[in-house]
Amino acid sequence: MKHDIKLEPISKWGVKNPKPFIIAGPCSAESEEQMLETARGMDLTKVSAFRAGVWKPRTRPNTFEGVGSEGLQWLKTVKQETGLLTATEVANVKHVYEALKAGIDIIWIGARTTTNPFAVQEIADALKGVDITVLVKNPINPDVELWLGAIERIANAGVTKLGAIHRGFSRFEQSIYRNPPHWQLPIELRRMMPDLPIICDPSHIAGTTTLLDEISQRAFDLNFDGLIIETHCNPKVALSDAKQQITPYELSRMLGRLALRSPETSDPEFLQTLDELRSQIDKLDVELLRLMGTRMKVSEEIGKVKKSQGITIFQAGRWDLILKKSIELGATEGLSEEFISKIFKAIHEESINHQTQIMNAK
């Protein structure tokens, strides 16, 4: 089903740099100094809005749950000083009223809230007749209908500055991602609502800083409209999501590295196929790593046995045999001798290191 809901493009949202639309700022507002220092470090020719959560949905109680409404005033100060638009998360009607009272420009509905139609409907009702930008994160479970449903509820309240955020989905399998992306879902959402701006949240997808580049580039390649990136003046001491936040300087560098491709050259079918293949590769890589970990554990067991018998770690005959067998088997899999030798030498070396540790343990 295609939608005919009329939405305004980002260029009509009062955004200084609409393509790509970059929102950056800390996971949580912690203090006015932390907010100002973070905002002052930003490249204002690229970043358009400043984010900070003041009410934090945390999995477990007794962790930092946000500074509350006081943080909204700090957002205002950031706006006064830098001209950046302000953005925060709302999860209930009280949050909406507080955010509106403080003059926040953009509110987003978090992944946990999107899963709950009652909560979304209450927020939508509170937004009737209000001119504000609303971004809806995907629900934590990969259900495009639930995501679309939340967007429809907000649109039906008359909000026309409306967008979606892909922040990845909860997982039960091992993954390199904190919240693995399912790119088919935002692609499907785009098909259903072609005018809906979609931005990507690489920080919550990755859960670590090392994957941010790759995820952001992927989002651009899939013609996303922008990014929301957790940025903190001193990530190490952040009160929430410390591992995934980058400094404003790192953000500028990263934005400089990303390539914006023109949408005309990105054939959605090609991109989807490429994406499915890449996700197969990602799964296989996880399996490879897990297998190597298991192999090392077995090799540690061998180390223990050798230690108890007082024999040497390295036994040349055994190693020659492994290499020979692997080259033979590799050939049947279409793998070159050079590749097998390289990879097995590396594995053997790591294995010896693990065994040495066992041998030398007191």
Residues within the interface to ligand PEP (CB under 6 A): 27, 53, 57, 89, 110-112, 137, 167, 204
Integer angstrom CA distances of residue 332 from 335, 337, 348: 7, 11, 22
What is the DSSP secondary-structure string of 152-221? HHHHHTT--SEEEEE-----SS--SSSS---THHHHHHHHH-TT--EEE-HHHHHSSGGGHHHHHHHHHH
First and final C-alpha spacing in the chain:
67
Q: Which does 110 bind (CB under 5 to 8 A by kind): Mn ion, ligand PEP, none?
A: ligand PEP
Q: Which does 111 bind (CB under 5 to 8 A by kind): ligand PEP, Mn ion, none?
A: ligand PEP
Nearest to ligand PEP of 2, 236 (CB atom): 236
Count Cβ atoms below 10 Å from residue 258 Cβ, excluding itself: 16
- Assigned token pair, 38: 């973070």
- Least Å from the CB of residue 305 to ligand PEP: 47
Q: Which does 96 bind (CB under 5 to 8 A by kind): ligand PEP, Mn ion, none?
A: none
- Buried b / exposed e over 331-359, threshold 16 CB at 10 Å, is eeeeeeeeebeeebeebbeebbebbeebe
Count Cβ atoms below 10 Å from residue 213 Cβ, excluding itself: 15
- Least Å from the CB of residue 155 to ligand PEP: 20
Nearest to Mn ion of 59, 308 (CB atom): 59
Q: Nearest 5 degrees, angle CA 32-CA 75-CA 84?
A: 120
Q: Nearest 5 degrees, angle CA 77-CA 82-CA 87?
A: 65
Whole-angstrom Cα distance, residue 253 to residue 250? Answer: 5
Nearest Cα to Cα of residue 23 among 248, 233, 253, 230:
230
| Contact window for Mn ion (CB under 5 A) among 41-49, 233-241, 291-299, 337-345 | 233-241
Q: What residue has token string 């097995």?
A: 344
- Least Å from the CB of residue 232 to ligand PEP: 12
- Least Å from the CB of residue 171 to Mn ion: 17
Q: Which does 66 bind (CB under 5 to 8 A by kind): Mn ion, ligand PEP, none?
A: none
User: Of residues 241, 247, 340, 354, which one binds Mn ion by CB under 5 A?
Assistant: 241
CA dihedral 87, 88, 93, 98 (to 10 degrees): -80
- Least Å from the CB of residue 204 to ligand PEP: 4
| Contact window for Mn ion (CB under 5 A) among 79-87, 121-129, 236-244, 253-261 | 236-244
Q: Which does 190 bind (CB under 5 to 8 A by kind): ligand PEP, Mn ion, none?
A: none
Nearest to ligand PEP of 51, 218 (CB atom): 51
Residues 6+ apart with CB under 8 A from 335: none
- Least Å from the CB of residue 357 to Mn ion: 37
Whole-angstrom Cα distance, residue 174 to residue 44? Answer: 38
Nearest to ligand PEP of 199, 340 (CB atom): 199
Nearest to ligand PEP of 42, 90 (CB atom): 90
The interface with Mn ion within residues 91-120 (CB under 5 A) comprises none
- Least Å from the CB of residue 113 to ligand PEP: 7
User: Of residues 15, 24, 27, 120, which one binds Mn ion by CB under 5 A?
Assistant: 27
Q: Which stretches of the chain bind Mn ion, using CB under 5 A?
A: 27, 241
